[in-house]
Amino acid sequence: MIYLGTGFAPVGWNTRYLWGHDLLVAPVFTPGAATRDVYLPAGDWCDWWTNTRVVGGRTVSRPINLETMPIYVRAGTIVPFDPVRQYTGEKVAELTTLHVYPGADGQFTLYDDDGVSQEYLAGRGQWIRMKWSDPTRELTLVPSTPSGAPGGAVTRVFTVTLPDGTSRAVTYRGVRTTLAF
C-alpha cells in the first residue's frame, strides 16, 4: 500500500464507503481504468453484480467499467427491493423482492407505512423483523412493532431470492412465518 504521509490513510481507502452496515460501495474515479482495488473488511462478501462469493479481510482487484461500479454485500444481508413507482400511492402489480445473501446469520427490520399520510410521525405502521438463519437456510418474518406504537398487520407477499437464482414467494399475515430453502 502507498501512504501519503504520516497520519494519512492508504490511497483509495477513503474512496469507498459502507452504505449502512452491509453494503460496501467503491466508486470509480479514474477515467479508462480497467480494474479497481477494494479492501473488504473481514468476513464473507458477495459481488453485487456477479453474485460471486469473496473472502474479506484483504484487498481484491475487480474488473470495472462504467456500468458496474464495485458493490459488495456482506454475507447474511437481507436487501428489500420494491417495484419502481412514480409516486408513493401508485399501485404496482410486482411484489417486493427480498434478496438474501447466505454465508452468515443476518437480520433486517422492514418498516412499512401507508405511504400517503403523516401517521408515521405517531409511529403508525408495520414493522417486520426478518431473520436469516444460515445453518438451517431459513428466513423468518416476525411482527416487531415497537412497544406502545400503534400498528396493524397488513398482509404482504414477498418474493425471496438467493444469489444462486433460487426464488420463492412467502405470504406474511402479521404472524411468525418461516420459509426454508
pLDDT single digits (tens) 15-42? 788 999 999 999 988 888 899 999 999 9
Burial of 134 from C-beta contacts in 10 A (0-12 / 13-18 / 19+): middle
- Rounded to whole angstroms, the Cα distance separating 130 from 109 reads 6
- Rounded to whole angstroms, the Cα distance separating 155 from 178 reads 15
68: left (phi over 0), alpha (psi -120 to 50) or beta: beta
Which is nearest to 76 in space by CA: 162, 175, 16?
Answer: 162
Residue 169: predicted pLDDT: 96
Grid cell, residue 45, equals 462478501
What value does the mean pLDDT take over residues 155-178? 94
Residue 121 has pLDDT above 70, yes or no: yes
Residue 149 has pLDDT above 80, yes or no: no
Residue 90 has pLDDT above 90, yes or no: no
Q: Who's near 91: CB < 8 A, 6+ residues apart?
A: none
**Domains and their CATH numbers in the chain:** 13-74 (2.60.40.1180), 78-180 (2.60.40.1180)
pLDDT, the chain, mean: 86
Grid cell, residue 56, equals 474479506
Residue 89 has pLDDT above 90, yes or no: no
